[in-house]
Amino acid sequence: MDTNHTTSLYQPPTDRRLDIIHVDDALIILNKPGGLLSVPGRGPEKQDSLSTRVQTQYPEALIVHRLDMATSGLMLMALTKDMQRQLSQLFEHRQIEKHYHAVVNGQLHSPKGEINLPMNRDWPRRPRQKIDHEHGKPSITRYEVLKYDARKNTSLLKVMPITGRSHQIRVHLQTLGHPILGDRLYADCDTIEKSDRLMLHASYLAFKHPGTNDCLEFDSPAPF
C-alpha cells in the first residue's frame, strides 16, 4: 500500500542495516523503518528504498507488497519469481492475515468496529485517496481499541484491514473522525503536531508458506 508519496525533500533513514525477522530459501520477512520507500520512487533522489537495500544483500529479492513510506513494520519479499507469484496470490485471495497498530486522535465510541467504505483515487489531489460511494472499490477495515490516553486524548488501536487499498487505514480512520497521529496527508494540523512520525506500524503477518506448507506467524512490536 505504498504510493511512493514523498515530500519535495526525501530524507530516508541513514541507518542502512536490515532488520531481518526471517529468511529461508524462498522468502524474507523484515521490518521496514518509517520514512523509507518500499520501492524506488521517481527521480534519482528517490532511488533509496527497502527493496534496493535488500537487493544489495539478496540480489534476487522481489517485491510482493508495499507499505506507505511513512509506515513502519513487517514486509514480505520473495527470493524467486515463482515464490513471488504464489505469495502475490495469497494476498490477492486474502490468505495472509495482517494486523497493524495505530495511534489516533480522540476516543472512539465503540471498543470494536468495522469500517466498510468504498475507496478511489482522488485524482485532483494525487496521491491522496478518497471515499467514493459511486465509483470506489469495496474497502473494509476492522479495529479494536487497546488503550485510551485521557491526558493526550489519543487511542491505541489494533487494526485489521480485510482489503488492501492504498492508504486504506489512513483514510478510513480519518473518515471515522479519528485521524492517525502524524499523518501529514490526511490529518489536521493539531493531530499532525502530536507526533513527528506517522503512528502506524505493520505489527503482524501470518500465512501458510507456499513452499513448505508450514504455518508462519511474525510479530513486530510497535515502536510507539
- Residue 68: active-site member: yes
- CB of 30 closer than 8 Å to CB of 51: no
Would you state the torsion angle of the CA atoms of residues 156, 179, 100, 149, taken in this order, to the nearest 10 degrees?
Answer: -10
**Residues ≥6 apart with Cβ < 8 Å to 99:** 158, 159, 160, 202, 203, 204
Secondary structure class of 91 (helix, strand, coil): helix
From the list 50, 95, 111, 128, the residue with the least C-alpha distance to 213 is 95
CA 199 to chain centroid = 11
Given the residues 68, 132, 183, 196, select the one marked as catalytic: 68
Would you state the torsion angle of the CA atoms of residues 194, 198, 203, 208, taken in this order, to the nearest 10 degrees?
Answer: 160
Secondary structure class of 87 (helix, strand, coil): helix
Q: Which residues are catalytic?
A: 68
